[in-house]
Amino acid sequence: MTDRIGHRFRTPGLLEQALTHRSAGAPHNERLEFLGDALVNLIVAEALYAHWPRADEGALTRARAELVRESALAPIARTLELGARLTLGPGEMKSGGHRRDSILADALEAVVAAIYLDSDFPTCRDAVLPWFQDAIDALPPPHKVGKDAKTRLQEWLQGRQKPLPVYALLAESGEEHAKNFHVTCTLAQPALVTEGVGSSRRAAEQIAAEAALERLAGPASDEA
C-alpha cells in the first residue's frame, strides 16, 4: 500500500498497527509511536543541519521543536488522510478522536516507525522528509525561529539598554481544574503596561509579553 504515505508496505500489518489507537485494544500503536518520535526527530534534525550549515545548536534545536510539535504533526497527518483510516475504540469514535491533534500526531509518528521497520532508515527518510520539506523551506532566519514572546521582549529591551519587564499576577479565577490567571507586563522605558489571561501563569505572561511586542512594533511607538 503506497497512496499518500509514499511507501509500499511489504508487511501491511505494520501499517494497520500504526493506525490502531490503544482504545481499540492490542496490538495498538504506542510502541511504534515511541520509536517514530525518535525517528522524526532524527530525520528533521538531519535535514535542518543541511538546510542551515552555519546555524548554531540553539537555533537548530528551536527549529526542530517547531517542526515536530503536536500542532505541526497533526496537519501532516490530515494531509495524509490518516484520520479516516484510524481504528478507534467506541468511546474515541463517538468523541471524534479521528480529528484530535494528539491522536493524529501520535499516529503519524507510529506510521514513521512502521515504514522504518518495514524497510530501513534511508527508505524511511526518503518517504518522510517530503512531509516536512515545505515547512523547512518556509522557516524564517535561524535567529528568529522559535523564541517565545517573553524571550523576544527581553531581547528587544536589552538591545536598547532598557530595563527588563516586570510581570505581576493580578488575579486567579475559576475552578481548581480550570483556573485562569490574569497578569500584567510592565515596562519602564518606554512606559507601557499590557495584560494577559491564560490557563497558567506562564501562559498569561507570554500573552502579555506578546501584547507588549505588538504595541512596541506599532506605528505609535517611537522606540521600535
Cell triple for 159: 538591545
172 is catalytic: no
Of 131, 136, 151, 155, nearest to 55 by C-alpha is 136
Annotated binding site for Mg(2+): which residue ranges?
33, 106, 109
3 catalytic per annotation = no
Residues 6+ apart with CB under 8 A from 70: 101, 102, 105
Residue list for the binding site: 33, 106, 109
Say if residues 21 and 118 touch (Cβ distance below 8 Å): no
Helices (runs of H) and strands (runs of E) counted in the chain: 9, 3
Candidates 92, 109, 118, 210; catalytic one? 109
Residue the block writes with cell 528551536? 62
Catalytic one of 3, 16, 37, 176: 37
Nearest residue to 103 via CA among 112, 92, 117, 114? 92
Report, as residue numbers or ranges, the catalytic residues.
37, 109
